[in-house]
Amino acid sequence: MPTGKYFAPFVIALAVLLEASAATTQARYSSVSLIVRFVGYAGAVYTAPPLSQSQQVYFPGEPIRFELVFVNNRGDSPITLQALADPRSTFSVRSLLGTPFEPALSDDVRLQTVFGERPIDWSSEFLLNADESLIIRGEIVSAGLPPGEHAISFSTTMRDSQGLLVVPQSTRLQLEMRESSTESAIEELRRHAARALIERDFLTAERWIDALRKAHPKSYASYVVEAQIAEFQKTPGRARAAYQQAIALLQSRSDQRHASFERSPRVTQDLIDALMQRVRAIEVASIP
């Protein structure tokens, strides 16, 4: 390495080279980034949480849904994306852990704005504003995955109108598959009810609630789903009563199944506090 009077010019030259390299690397990428995330997950209540590195835990036959989300990071400036006949063709998937699998992507591309979602036609150049995102939904078939952890990563060749590649910001999905058993039956019933609620299929959710209570009469979670259904259906009396029943089961630790998987008393107390807030909100809204 240069020393003495030659050292300063060397440092300056090195800094210039590093800055030029950084600028070149940055210029390769667009201000649009790709984020991959799970959606519609019903949580883990009557089963152990997922293994340390996994984001979710699933059982065979359970739908595993995710979204590919494109976000404009430029601030207030819109970005034009190149026209695509089939956006799905720009993606590739790499297996990182466990059994390789190929997720299925929808051909329905949605634009999400502050006013909601709508489908878009991407066959011509598309303008993505700073407060908008593009969403492509997908699903993984869980039936063919063996127990254990599995992980994949997405990449894309998608570009903006200037030819710059979309940035792969967060593209890893990692999950744990767990075998169905007598031990998991109550959790799987709860998930059926929760998914039906998420999909606004209240009649189906009610049937799964009944099945859950037959298998586990002291299930606080069944009353939470019932209360949420009642809130959607604008029956505050029923919602309030169901929330209160859930709170009573948690406070008395009568739901032994939940207690056996309790992460900590603090987490349970936070849950009780949140349910109490819902009760208070219902009571306030009911005041004439």
* pLDDT per residue as tens digits for the range 143-171: 888 999 999 999 999 999 999 999 999 99
- Cα separation, 246 vs 223, in Å, equals 5
- What CATH homologous superfamily does 29-177 map to? Immunoglobulins (2.60.40.10)
- Cα separation, 37 vs 168, in Å, equals 13
Rg (CA), the chain: 25
- Cα separation, 73 vs 129, in Å, equals 9
Instruction: Pick the more confident residue, 122 or 207.
Output: 207
- List, in order, residues 6 or more apart from 155 with CB less than 8 Å away: 91, 92, 93, 94, 168, 171
Band (pLDDT 50/70/90 cuts) for residue 264 is confident
- Cα separation, 284 vs 288, in Å, equals 9
Structurally, at CATH architecture level, domain 185-286 sits in Alpha Horseshoe (1.25)
Band (pLDDT 50/70/90 cuts) for residue 287 is confident
pLDDT at 76: 81
To the nearest 10°, report the CA torsion of 49, 50, 51, 55. -130
To the nearest 10°, report the CA torsion of 209, 214, 219, 220. 40
Q: Does the pLDDT at position 27 exceed 60? A: no
Mean pLDDT score across all residues of the chain: 89
DSSP H or E stretch at residue 148: strand 148-156
Q: Does the pLDDT at position 111 exceed 60? A: yes
Domain ranges (residues) in the chain: 29-177, 185-286
pLDDT at 99: 87
Could you please report the per-residue DSSP string of 62-107?
Answer: --EEEEEEEEE-SSS--EEEPP-S-GGGGEEEEEEESS----EEEE
pLDDT at 101: 84
Nearest Cα residue to 42 out of 189, 183, 184, 140: 189
- Cα separation, 124 vs 142, in Å, equals 35
**Which of 1-5, 62-66, 136-140 is least confident?**
1-5
Band (pLDDT 50/70/90 cuts) for residue 14 is very low
* pLDDT per residue as tens digits for the range 136-149: 999 998 888 899 99
- Cα separation, 134 vs 72, in Å, equals 9
Nearest Cα residue to 111 out of 131, 79, 133: 133
DSSP H or E stretch at residue 37: strand 29-39
